């Protein structure tokens, strides 16, 4: 009899936890973490390509040292930020990380514009391969970022809606940081590459991304 009562209590507790949205919050929280991990993974893939890109360009355009230094420094700055699971719950840290990635995007764009002045470099097979890989990575970053945005949106809606908002408050499920529209517009655009020789090379300038807001 006691065993039957304990079983009944366990089942009732399970139904209660499920009904209050706890399991849904747990699942969506894990989805957000997984989506963010993929964003970071693609940013890292881009960072890994940059040393080869810089080395290839340097062999042809040694006099463009200032632009190459900008790219290298922007990469170092982006990689210097400690990526902890808590970053997506920290508005200031999240904004700092995205600002660094936005600065790196602009630096890469500036480097690729410099290439317009070096026809031999543009025709180099190694450079072309790196350029294709880099552009593909920018596309992957956009896809990963969009998936993160969707995951955070779903999670934040669950945290706010009744009655799961009561469960969220009880178990400390807080709203997560997301990209703002302005931030997305700044950092989502892949580096533009023009092969028009009349287009002057431009220096890469850091971009300060606005602080993200929770959706």
- Listed residue (180, 134, 167) closest to 24, CA to CA: 167
Q: Is residue 66 part of a domain?
A: yes
Distance (Å, rounded) from C-alpha 117 to C-alpha 105? 20
Pick from 11-15, 41-45, 111-115: least confident: 11-15
For the stretch 87-118, pLDDT in tens is 888 888 898 998 999 999 999 998 888 888 88
Q: Is residue 200 part of a domain?
A: no
Q: Is residue 112 part of a domain?
A: yes
Task: Classify the phi-psi angles of 199: left when phi > 0, otherwise alpha if psi is within -120 to 50, otherwise beta.
Answer: beta
Q: Is residue 12 part of a domain?
A: yes
Residue 19's pLDDT is: 56
Q: Is residue 105 part of a domain?
A: yes
Q: Is residue 194 part of a domain?
A: no
Q: What angle do CA 43, 45, 50 make, to 5 degrees?
A: 95
CATH number at residue 156: 1.20.1440.20
Residue 85's pLDDT is: 74
Sign of the C-alpha dihedral, residues 62, 63, 67, 70?
A: positive
pLDDT of 207 > 50? The answer is no
Q: Which structural domain range is residue 146 located in?
A: 2-187
pLDDT of 14 > 70? The answer is no
Residue 181's pLDDT is: 54
Q: Is residue 206 part of a domain?
A: no
Q: Is residue 210 part of a domain?
A: no
| Counted domains in the chain | 1
């Amino acid at each position: 009899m006691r065993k039957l009562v304990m079983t009944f209590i366990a089942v009732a507790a399970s139904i209660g936890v499920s009904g209050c949205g706890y399991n849904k919050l747990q699942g969506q929280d894990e989805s957000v973490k997984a989506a963010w991990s993929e964003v970071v993974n693609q940013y890292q893939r881009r960072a890994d390509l940059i040393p080869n890109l810089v080395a290839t360009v340097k062999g042809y355009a040694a006099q463009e040292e200032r632009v190459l230094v900008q790219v290298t420094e922007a990469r170092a700055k982006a990689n210097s930020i400690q990526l902890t699971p808590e970053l997506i719950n920290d508005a200031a840290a999240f904004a700092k990380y995205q600002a660094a990635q936005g600065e790196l995007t602009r630096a890469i764009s500036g480097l690729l514009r410099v290439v317009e002045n070096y026809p031999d470099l543009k025709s180099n097979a190694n450079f072309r391969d790196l350029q294709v890989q880099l552009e593909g990575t920018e596309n992957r970053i956009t896809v990963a970022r969009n998936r993160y945005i969707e995951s955070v949106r779903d999670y934040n809606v669950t945290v706010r809606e009744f009655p799961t908002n009561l469960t969220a408050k009880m178990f400390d499920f807080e709203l997560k940081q997301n990209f703002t529209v302005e931030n997305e517009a700044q950092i989502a655009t892949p580096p533009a590459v023009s092969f028009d020789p009349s287009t002057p090379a431009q220096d890469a300038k850091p971009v300060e991304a606005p602080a993200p807001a929770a959706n």
